[in-house]
Amino acid sequence: MSISASFAAIQPRYPEFKGQVAIVTGSSRRIGKGIAMRLAREGMKVVITSRTAATVEETTRELREVGAEVLSVVADLGLPADVDRLFAETLQAFGTVDLLVNNAADLRRDRLFKVDEALLDHQIAANIKGPYLCSLRAAEIMRDHKRGGNIVQISTVGALRAHWHGLPYDMTKGAIDALTRALALDLAEYNIRVNCVAPGPIVGVRHPREGDKAAWDAIERVPMRCFGVALDIGAAVAFLASPDAAFVTGQILYVDGGLTAQLSPRLQPI
């Protein structure tokens, strides 16, 4: 399905979002792009940002073509100077920040003895320090404009129950779960809510093509017997940032087809 068809198919549910400003990190593709699409469809002004200029430009163009108001910023958020520039350019263009979605991350994972120190350092910078600094900058803006706001982190089911060969990624996402709770307590007095979405298996389609045995085998391990798609995560983010979730903070919402609820996969009892 084309982006224009996907965009048109989204049913907006939160008219109060219209004109608000959202920064979605890592939003040029995959889950981040789905989140950006949903928020733009709700009428938000959305900042598209990632390290890759080509995909940032492509996603920005696609969203503008369907009528979204977007700003593109190429940035490596593991670098504090790039974090500062991201927020400076957002304020210059849109004047404020109402929602921050910390989605950008290095997804690589492996076994302990294969993880070198360079990968560990990079993931600590990209997956922990970047979200921490972005949260700090966003919270400063939200505190000062006195309307409050929302921060939504994107974690993973691997932060709760580790993947096989899950290092150092699962460890860094476990830190994001803890950061969510700590920020929620620290920022509640400013009417800033902080929550987290933890995706399960998110791919491009609900069901793979016939003959893709590996994908169909994977689906058998998901209780709902399908995959999630990026717009599922976008819907969860929109809910958590909406007034419908006004009394929700410090929570982790698992969007995983029931994966974390099960003790063992279907037809594989312990």
Question: Catalytic residue positions?
Answer: 169
Task: Supply angle C-alpha 185, 146, 150, rounded to 5.
Answer: 50
Say if strands 45-50 and 99-102 run parallel, antiparallel, or are unpaired. Answer: unpaired
Closest CA to 171 of 133, 119, 136, 218: 119
User: Is residue 195 within 8 Å of 184, Cβ to Cβ?
Assistant: yes
- Tokens of residue 47, six digits: 């900042």
Beta strand spans in 94-148 (E): 99-102
- Maximum alpha-carbon separation in the chain: 57
Query: Between the CA of residue 205 and those of 30, 67, 219, 265, what are the distances in Å?
Result: 12, 25, 12, 21
Buried b (16+ CB within 10 A) or exposed e, 68-89: bebbbbbbbbbbeebbebbbeb
What is the Cα gyration radius of the chain? 18
Query: Between the CA of residue 91 and those of 32, 38, 53, what are the distances in Å?
Result: 21, 22, 21
User: Is residue 90 within 8 Å of 79, Cβ to Cβ?
Assistant: no
